[in-house]
């Protein structure tokens, strides 16, 4: 029986390359010359720590992070910008967590959308992936199209397609 997996993960090396590209770009920008900018990737916890002088520069750094990571192939939804920036002395700090793996509530939303679509497939949550099985590959491709059209707020990858 044909099947595939729906996952949500970020390649650590690609993320590291994107953060290094952001650092290089900010070093060369005129508006960031002679200003304090520190960007650090915690690979263990998947958190990007940003430290700048003002809120305006924080917004610019976030824009650069999003644009550079998208050019590296990382979806903008992979970053969680929900935590507010907080002042610490003369600088403004922000922790940007990177979503890696499907959370249970996100997986339930995706499975519910698949079941509500009326397609003849079965979707099962297995840890941090969703396994979708069906009799025809065409049904599985419709599920992929449905997941791409639906905005679930997490980046999705479709892998391990077996026929």
Domain residue limits, the chain: 3-8+101-162, 12-98
Q: Give the pLDDT score at 153.
A: 84
- In terms of CATH architecture, what is 3-8+101-162? 2-Layer Sandwich (3.30)
Superfamily of domain covering 12-98: YajQ-like, domain 2 (3.30.70.990)
- Looking at residue 93, what is its pLDDT? 95
DSSP string, 66-86: HHHHHHHT--GGGEE--SPPE
Low-confidence ranges of the chain (pLDDT < 50): none
pLDDT, position 100: 87
Q: CA-CA distance, 19 to 21, in Å (whole number)?
A: 5
pLDDT at 132: 94
Helix (H, G, I), strand (E, B) or coil at 45: coil
- The CA radius of gyration of the chain, in Å to the nearest whole number, is 19
Q: What is the pLDDT of residue 134?
A: 92
DSSP E strand stretches across the chain: 3-7, 38-42, 47-52, 79-80, 86-88, 91-98, 121-126, 129-134, 157-162
Q: What is the pLDDT of residue 74?
A: 92
Q: What is the pLDDT of residue 72?
A: 92
Q: pTM of the predicted model, to two decimals?
A: 0.82
Q: What pLDDT digit, counting tens, does each position of 56-73 carry?
A: 999 999 999 999 999 999
């Amino acid at each position: 029986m044909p099947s595939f997996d729906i996952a949500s993960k970020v390649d650590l090396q690609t993320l590291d390359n994107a953060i290094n590209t952001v650092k290089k770009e900010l070093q060369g920008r005129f508006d960031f010359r002679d200003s304090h900018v520190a960007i650090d990737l915690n690979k263990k916890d998947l958190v990007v720590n940003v430290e700048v002088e003002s809120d305006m520069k924080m917004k610019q750094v976030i824009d650069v992070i999003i644009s550079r990571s998208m050019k590296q192939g990382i979806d903008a939804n992979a970053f969680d910008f929900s935590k507010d920036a907080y002042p610490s002395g003369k600088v403004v700090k922000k922790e940007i967590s990177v979503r890696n793996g499907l959370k249970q509530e996100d997986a339930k939303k995706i499975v519910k959308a698949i079941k509500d679509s009326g397609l003849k497939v079965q979707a099962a949550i297995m840890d941090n992936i969703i396994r979708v099985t069906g009799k025809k590959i065409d049904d599985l491709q419709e599920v992929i199209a449905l997941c791409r059209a639906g905005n679930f707020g997490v980046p999705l990858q479709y892998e391990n397609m077996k026929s």
